[in-house]
């Protein structure tokens, strides 16, 4: 059974339909990417998955149960964690405090401590800056904070909204390596991206979204070599 199963999802803002009936599923342990241009409805889809936006129609099943009326703050406890677009780092909290926010719902202090140390091992840069306000970090460092923070929430399914947005290519490369590494640890990931090539390269499967509909789906390698994707997103 799939960890996440979305059927005929429709979302509307006022009269405008942003998502026009999509189906998607993610199996345990997969790294799935959702690619598409600006305004295709990717972010709306993610926000609907964590209850921030209410669907107009359709069902979302997470871990075998419909998410229905689960309040937003409860999703984290169930292992469904989102890293919002633009990173959502708390600029006026220190790096360490930001990481602790990820563990907000937990109270196993000793485990939290050792996981924070693990994040510092992954990102030595963050350790150097642990007492610094996160808002004074560079974009790449902030993205590291956002990822580290998400890891402290102990996700089963991690939803990443455009982690590469606004970052220098070399940093993007590094961020994608980290995404891959988190995935290897057994965390299921849904990666929403505009950077189609990189996203497909690290993913198992992919969905292509265009103006509120999923127009293509399949194994990442197939999508990567398909003519349509090549033309539309890879510019080759």
Partner 1 sequence: MPQNQSKRMLAFALSGIVLAVLPFIVGSTLGNSWVRTLDFALLYIMLALGLNIVVGFAGLLDLGYIAFYAVGAYTFALLNSPHLSIFMPWWFILPLGAILAAFFGIMLGTPVLRLRGDYLAIVTLGFGEIIRIFMNNLNAPVNITNGPQGINMIKPIEVAGFSLGKPVELFGTTYNSVYIYYYLFLLLAVLTVIICHRLQHSRIGRAWVALREDDVAANAMGLNIRNIKLLAFAMGATFGGVAGGLFASFQGFVSPESFGLMESIMVLAMVVLGGMGNISGVILGAVLLTVTPELLRDIIGPLQMKAFGRMIVDPENARMLMFGLALIVVMLVRPEGLWPSKRRKAEFHDALDDGIPAADSQAADGLKG
Contacting residues toward partner 1, per CB under 8 A: 50, 52, 71-77, 81-82, 84, 86, 88-93, 97, 100-102, 104-105, 124-125, 128, 133, 135-142, 144, 149, 153, 166-168, 170-171, 174
Give the shortest CB-10-to-partner 1 separation in angstroms.
22
In whole angstroms, how large is the CA radius of gyration of the chain?
A: 17
E strand spans, the chain: 4-13, 16-26, 31-36, 57-62, 65-66, 80-83, 157-161, 188-193, 205-210, 213-219
Give the shortest CB-232-to-partner 1 separation in angstroms.
27
Q: Which is nearer to partner 1, 8 or 114 (CB)?
A: 114
CB-hemisphere CA count at 13 Å for 230?
7
Give the shortest CB-155-to-partner 1 separation in angstroms.
11
Give the shortest CB-121-to-partner 1 separation in angstroms.
12
Q: Which is nearer to partner 1, 36 or 51 (CB)?
A: 51
Let me know: does 31 contact 189? Beta carbons within 8 Å: yes
Q: Which is nearer to partner 1, 62 or 75 (CB)?
A: 75
Q: Which is nearer to partner 1, 171 or 223 (CB)?
A: 171
Residues 6+ apart with CB under 8 A from 150: 81, 83, 102, 158, 160
DSSP classification of residue 97:
H
């Amino acid at each position: 059974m799939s960890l996440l199963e979305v059927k005929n999802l429709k979302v509307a803002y006022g009269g405008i339909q942003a998502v026009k009936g999509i189906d998607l599923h993610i199996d345990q342990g997969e790294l799935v990417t959702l690619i598409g241009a600006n305004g295709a409805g990717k972010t709306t889809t993610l926000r609907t998955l964590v209850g921030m936006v209410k669907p107009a129609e359709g069902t979302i099943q997470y871990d075998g149960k419909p998410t229905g009326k689960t309040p937003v703050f409860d999703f984290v406890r169930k292992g469904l964690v989102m890293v919002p677009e633009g990173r959502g780092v708390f600029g006026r909290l220190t790096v360490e405090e930001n990481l602790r926010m990820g563990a907000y719902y937990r109270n196993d202090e000793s485990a939290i401590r050792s996981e924070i140390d693990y994040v510092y091992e992954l990102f030595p840069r963050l350790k150097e800056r642990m007492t610094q306000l996160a808002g004074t970090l560079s974009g790449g460092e902030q993205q590291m904070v956002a990822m580290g923070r998400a890891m402290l929430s102990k996700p089963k399914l991690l939803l990443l909204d455009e982690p590469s947005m606004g970052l220098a290519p070399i940093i993007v490369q590094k961020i994608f390596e980290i995404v891959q590494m988190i995935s290897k640890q057994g965390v299921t990931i849904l990666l929403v991206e505009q950077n189609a090539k990189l996203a497909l390269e690290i993913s198992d499967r992919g969905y292509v979204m265009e103006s509120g509909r999923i127009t293509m789906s399949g194994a990442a390698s197939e999508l990567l070599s398909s003519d349509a994707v090549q033309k539309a997103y890879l510019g080759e």
